[in-house]
Amino acid sequence: MPRTAGPIRLAELARVLGLEVEGDPQLEIGGFASLEKAGPDELVFVRDRGHLAALAACPARAVVAPAGFALEGRSALRSARPAHDFSRLMQHFLPLPRPPAGIASGAHVDPTAEIHPTASIEAGARIGPGSRVGAGTVIAANATLAAVVVVGRDCWIHSGAVLRDRTQVGDRVVLQPGVVLGSDGFGLVADEQGRPVAMAHRGRVVVEDDVEIGANTTVDRATLDETRIRRGAKIDNLVQIAHNCDVGENALIVAQTGLSGGTIVGPGAIVMAQAGTTGHLRIGARAFVGARAGLHHDVADGERVFGSPAMEERTWHRAMAALKRLPELLRRVRRLEQRLDLRAGDASPSTGDSDRA
């Protein structure tokens, strides 16, 4: 469990969050932990009543919790967003180690690139011609910025990330290891002999401020214009976003989802794991697409869809309920068929002696 450099009084944690202490403000916290693994001097959090049973068995003496939760004598920081405030405390007291500012020996920086003096360029990183890196940004070891790439302030581009030519990244963007922005899309056309050949892709990728993109996710450059990830969007690991997609502000896209070319995801929409779309669809604002859904049509604002092919939530629930009853329904149909066969046999003409009379 993460331990702080030294004990911190609960009053100091409250000051960072702007909250009041309920209980002992002098109680010392030595680290942060889950309900299952916490020790007495570690801070935990509960976000809903479903976690109260685990809290009852936990020895931690301090907790971040919503108002109104009974906490069995523990000291508390009462919060409307316990998970968020717990995360804020960890970021404040357990910051990630940052490399020193400047260009490390072993980094490869083109003479025409512009690097802010407070940026950190680690050994093995490559910054191409005409590229710019903003203040406080970290370009980690073995990350690559190709030609004319722009990365804003306070970003973290982790090891192995590749930003292809003319990619533009805003401020406070996090790209986890292996992210690729700006690779050519899977756009194919037939040549004169009918063979598939790659269509030229000359557009770019634009990632706006406060976006986070998970490990080994790929965002393809547009064919002509741009593929855009808008402000505050969060994209999980192993997601494929094809050419000319537009992902809206604060949208969430979960692991192993695939968006085909030209898909538009509205602001605040949630697309769950392993969902997939055909091309040129629109997922509306605040819509919800369930895990493993297969989309072949637009989704309206606020609509919730599930299944493959995707259908409206209530219809999907009825279909799933009927599917559970299918084996019994098949047995009933077979019994009815057997009865009909027997009745048909009873009704057939007799070939006994009476027929010869």
Where in the sequence numbering do the catalytic residues fall?
A: 243
Does residue 134 sit in helix, strand or coil? coil
Residue type, 302: G
| CA–CA gap between residue 328 and residue 333 (Å, rounded) | 9
Does residue 24 sit in helix, strand or coil? coil
Taking residue 311's Cβ as centre, other Cβ atoms within 10 Å add up to: 17
Phi, psi of 344 (to 5 degrees): -65, -35
**Residues forming a β-bridge with 218:** 180, 240
Residues 6+ apart with CB under 8 A from 64: 43, 44, 45, 46, 76, 77, 79, 82, 85, 86, 89
Helix axes 82-93, 10-17, angle to 10 degrees: 110
Say if residue 309 is preceded by a cis peptide, omega within 30 of 0. Answer: yes
Q: Containing H/E element for 41?
A: none
Does residue 317 sit in helix, strand or coil? helix
Phi, psi of 310 (to 5 degrees): -65, 140
Residue type, 217: T
**Residues forming a β-bridge with 312:** 305
